Structure 1
Amino acid sequence: MGREFIDLFDKWATSYDAAVTGHDPQYRDVFENYDTILSEVVSNSEGNVLEFGVGTGNLSKKLLDADHHVIGIEPSKAMREAASAKYPDLTVLDGDFLSFPKLDIPIFTIVSTYAFHHLTDDEKGKAIKAFNEILPVNGKVVFADTVFESEETKQEIIDQAKDNGYNDLVYDLTTEYYPMKNTLQSLFKQNGFYVTFKQMNKFAWLIVAEKQ
Structure 2
Amino acid sequence: MGREFMHIFDEWADSYETTVQGRDEQYKAVFEHYDDILEEVAKRTNGITIEFGIGTGNLTEKVLQKGVELVAVEPNKSMRLVAEKRFPYLTIHDGDFLSFPKLGKVDSIISSYAFHHLTDEEKKRAFELYYSLLSESGEIVFADTMFVNEQAHEEMITTAKAKQFFDLAEDLNREYYTTVPNMKKILHETGYQVQFEKLNDFVWLTHAKKS
Q: Same fold (TM over 0.5)?
A: yes
Partners of 2:189 and 2:136 lie apart in 1 by: 15
Partner letter of residue 40 of structure 2?
E
Q: Map Cα deviations across residues 6-53 of structure 1 (whole Å, 9 max, x no partner).
A: 101111111111111001011000000000000000111111110000
Partner letter of residue 69 of structure 2?
H
1:71 aligns with 2:71: yes
1:194 aligns with 2:180: no
Identity of aligned residues (%): 46
Q: Report if aligned partners of 1:60, 1:90 keep a CA contact under 8 Å in 2.
A: no
Aligned residue in 2 for 1:107: 106
User: Mind listing any 5+ residue stretches in structure 1 that lack a counterpart?
Assistant: none
Partner letter of residue 59 of structure 2?
L
Aligned residue in 1 for 2:33: 33
Q: Map Cα deviations across residues 67-101 of structure 1 (whole Å, 9 max, x no partner).
A: 11111111100000001111212221000011112
Superposition map of 1:160-175 within 5 A: 160-175=159-174
Partners of 2:90 and 2:74 lie apart in 1 by: 12
Aligned residue in 2 for 1:18: 18
Partner letter of residue 170 of structure 1?
A
TM-score norm. by structure 1 comes to 0.97
Superposition map of 1:51-200 within 5 A: 51-103=51-103, 105-200=104-199
Following superposition, the deviation at residue 137 of structure 1 comes to 1.6
- What do you get for the CA RMSD once the two structures are aligned? 0.9
Partner letter of residue 49 of structure 1?
T
Q: Report if aligned partners of 1:70, 1:91 keep a CA contact under 8 Å in 2.
A: no
Following superposition, the deviation at residue 110 of structure 1 comes to 0.1
Partners of 2:135 and 2:173 lie apart in 1 by: 36
Partners of 2:167 and 2:69 lie apart in 1 by: 35
Write 1 or 2 for the structure with the bigger share of strand. Answer: 2
TM-score norm. by structure 2 comes to 0.98
Question: Which ranges of 4 or more aligned residues in structure 1 deviate by more than 3 Å?
Answer: none
Partner letter of residue 86 of structure 2?
K
How many matched pairs?
A: 211
Following superposition, the deviation at residue 210 of structure 1 comes to 0.5
